[in-house]
Amino acid sequence: MLRNHCGNPRLYALTAEPDPRPETAFTVKTLPRPPKGPLHVMAYGVHVFTALGAALGFLALEAVIAGDLPRAFMWLAIALVVDAVDGPLARWLKVTETASRYDGATLDLVVDFITYVFVPAAMLLRPEVMDPPFGLIAGLVVLVGSALYFADTGMKTDDWWFKGFPAVWNVVVFYIVVFKPATWLTLLIVLVLAAMMFLPVVFVHPVRVKRWRALTMGVMVLWGGAAVATLMARLEPGFAVKAVLLAGAVYFLGLGFLRDAPEEG
């Protein structure tokens, strides 16, 4: 690959086309420049918007270190909204064509690892969440297993279901903090879910799986309302809110067992 006079390596590429000149067997071919204009700026803005998730993760980590878990989950909740919105925006603006300098999929994985995995693993170190040294053990299991899972090239099926537990540790730790299971049970939950990342089980992608999408989105809305109510109660919700959280967990955990059920009509 050659650089132009501005030092940009993306504008030229070498091709093995025959050249009548005897001194070289290669020619320099100019690649098309990315489009300019408002759409171009907006497309790169989507990448910046995605990258803001990393900053939100850092703010959540600062809150964890300060011992303020409600504030930490507030930042993770905002990051979750960013993650839900940036994908549709990227597809709408065709960022792979209009902002191709940055790989949106790689950027998304980097940010997701911070907010879905690293910060929740750090929460397990808090003595009010898990007794030491079991929090450290659980956190290490989460980090190593999730790093492998994020690199799995077969992470999703052709119809957008996740293969294995999709490493949504932010949600798992949220439930652990709210329901306060004993340390031994928390460790067991972490170990089972970590193993499920590599087992032949499927989990629904709530937005991209078409089957039962309307019902799934409805459950998501109810779950989101319960999660917001939990944050407003500083992670000490009442019975009704906890019941909604549990019902949502049962729905999303159980839906994978119905994936191969015959469709009606």
What is d(CA 133, CA 121) in angstroms, rounded to the nearest whole number? 13
Residue with tokens 């499927």: 202
Q: What is the pLDDT of residues 7-18, one digit of tens each?
A: 444 433 444 444
pLDDT digits (tens, 9 = 90+) for 56-92: 999 999 999 999 999 999 999 999 999 888 777 777 8
Distance from chain centroid for Cα 93: 20
Residue 162: exposure state from Cβ atoms within 10 A (0-12, 13-18, ≥19): buried
Confidence of residue 22 (pLDDT cuts 50, 70, 90): very low
Residue 171 tokens, joined: 């949600």
Instruction: Of 151, 208, 143, 187, give the one whose Cα is nearest residue 169.
Output: 143
Helix spans in 1-126 (H): 38-66, 69-93, 95-98, 104-112, 119-123
Q: Which residues are paired to 202 by β-bridges?
A: 163
CA angle centred on 113, ends 49 and 252, rounded to 5°: 95
The two tokens of residue 186 are 């928390």
Distance CA 225, CA 72 (A): 18
The pTM for the full model equals 0.82
Rounded Cα–Cα distance for residues 83 and 93 (Å): 16
Q: What confidence tens digit (pLDDT) does each residue in 180-222 have?
A: 999 999 999 999 999 999 999 999 988 888 888 899 999 999 9
What domains lie within the chain, and their CATH numbers?
1-33 (no CATH), 38-199 (1.20.120)
